Amino acid sequence: MDTARRFKPETILLLDRVAEHPEARRILGLFPSAAVRLVKHQRSPFSWDVSQSQALLIGKRTLMIGETSTFVGRFDGRLGSNVRCCAYHKLVPFFAGYADLIRETLTAVEPENITLGMLRLLPGHHRLATSAYGNRARELCGRNFVRGASDGKLRYHPKQRIEFYRFLVDTIRSFDSEVSISLCRETREMWRIFKNHCLPGRCNCVIW
């Protein structure tokens, strides 16, 4: 969206529960002249009594800022056997932040290797987090982490890790096609999936 220079919405539908998120505020700042409407639901937030052609025109002038329930949604652009549009990734603000970080980093430096990793917790970390941060640790403790590695640590679900790593690798490659990429403390399953994209010999990680 940041590269869609000609897109200037007249109306922005802003999901109320993400209204104060930094990424939502950043997007709003891109279109200061647009009217902003807070909505409680992302699907059919308004019911316009207009024709299909009028509804299509309204849709082209409307931007929705919401959230997605998965890390990243991929649309390949196929609308049918003979119809296509530009492919895109649907990003949550978390992903958009990492995309900005990668862009800023790789336009400033030329690293020899990039190691990717995700949060890993020992079961006791939940107790320590609750003791140290109280209710602020509730979101962390409520996540559906999974076991499965010989180190006994809790990790995000494999599907989420795969989506995240694929996004990072693709983003890195869009800026640097040569830099080596490795994974940090990942399972054999992840190494198998990314064997053609990540080099285990370029990191001091252990394959658990």
pLDDT in tens, 122-164: 878 888 888 888 887 777 777 778 887 778 888 988 988 998 8
Reported as a single tens digit per residue, the pLDDT across 106-129 is: 888 888 889 998 888 887 888 888
Give one word for 49, left, alpha or beta, with left for phi > 0 and alpha for psi -120 to 50.
Answer: beta
pLDDT at 126: 81
Token pair for 145: 């982490």
Residue 181 pLDDT grade (very low, low, confident, very high; cuts 50, 70, 90): very high
pLDDT at 91: 44
Reported as a single tens digit per residue, the pLDDT across 8-61 is: 888 888 888 888 888 888 888 888 999 999 988 766 544 556 555 566 566 668
Question: Integer distance in angstroms from the first to the last C-alpha of the chain?
Answer: 39
The domain spans of the chain are 1-67, 112-202
Token pair for 172: 């890195």
* Overall average pLDDT of the 83-109 stretch: 67
